[in-house]
Structure 1
Amino acid sequence: MTRTAIQKPDYEAELRKAGVRITRPRRIIVGILTDTEDHPDALEIFRRAVAIDSSISLSTVYRTMKLLEGLGAIHRHAFEGGPSRFEQAGGDHHDHLIDIETGDVIEFKSDRIEQLQNEIARSLGYDIVHHRLELYGRKCKVK
């Protein structure tokens, strides 16, 4: 089982291609998204943006996230018990393990899990066209 590697996206190019103007607040927001390796929610993105420029509004963050999601540049995840969180789209398929105590989201890839899912779908007469696996857990206590 491996953790997935993240390739840096070019969100500004995606927005320009869609004819969206790149304002200073948007540039800051996409810079935060480009540099992040976690799965922040909109409020966390807002906190990081305001630390750079206090004039950025939460609504600007929401609008920018909605634009990027609509362009297919980011994915929105609604992990159980929390606000929607975001990650870059594209790249290799991966699954998520969510730490229920810290909220940390760990990306991983398992060929065994993928093979088992395909076997199950085939045995039921289906081909998988899309799936999302989310595991919820807490760190094992060492004795």
Structure 2
Amino acid sequence: KKNEEIGLATVYRVLNQFDDAGIVTRHHFEGGKSVFELAHKKHHDHLVCLKCGNVVEFEDDVIEQRQSDIAKSHKITLTNHSLYLYGECEDKIACEEYRIKHL
């Protein structure tokens, strides 16, 4: 088996190309952290811990309907949207463990 190393710059260049092609979606989180996800996943929103950086995906039909209603009330047709909720983990020990693990 041949051991090959791929430079980090190459990985980011390919991710950017995938983003441009609509294969992945880039999310920019607080603190300059970018996360890439497959673009064809079902729509979801994100909870982000400002201390450890953990990102939790969630779906909520009530929130989705409310956003749609707000857009309609302003005579806007939504084509895309994203929702990021920022806060801090309540479990401080788990938060610190996550932060250390993902440094």
* Same fold at TM > 0.5: yes
2:57 paired with 1:93: no
Structure 1 residues not aligned, in runs of 5+: 1-23, 25-52
2:16 to 66, 80, 98: 66
Count of aligned positions = 91
SS at 1:91's partner residue? coil
Report which stretch shifted further, 65-74 or 103-112.
65-74
Q: Which runs of 4+ in 1 moved over 4 A?
A: none
* Identity rate, percent: 43
SS at match of 1:125: coil
Cα pair 2:49 2:87 within 8 Å, conserved? yes
Distance (Å, rounded) in 2 between the aligned partners of 1:63 and 1:125: 38
SS of the equivalent of 1:97 reads: strand
Structure 2: unaligned runs, 5 residues or longer: 92-103
- What is the CA distance between 1:54 and its match in structure 2? 6.5
User: Residue type of the partner of 1:140?
Assistant: E
Residue by residue, what CA displacement relative to the aligned partner does 1:58-80 show, whole Å, maximum 9, x if unpaired?
12112221221122111111112
TM-score (norm 1): 0.57
Tell me whether 1:108 sits opposite 2:53 in the alignment. Answer: no
Partner of residue 100, structure 2: none
TM-score by length of 2: 0.76
Say which SS state the counterpart of residue 81 (structure 1) adopts: helix
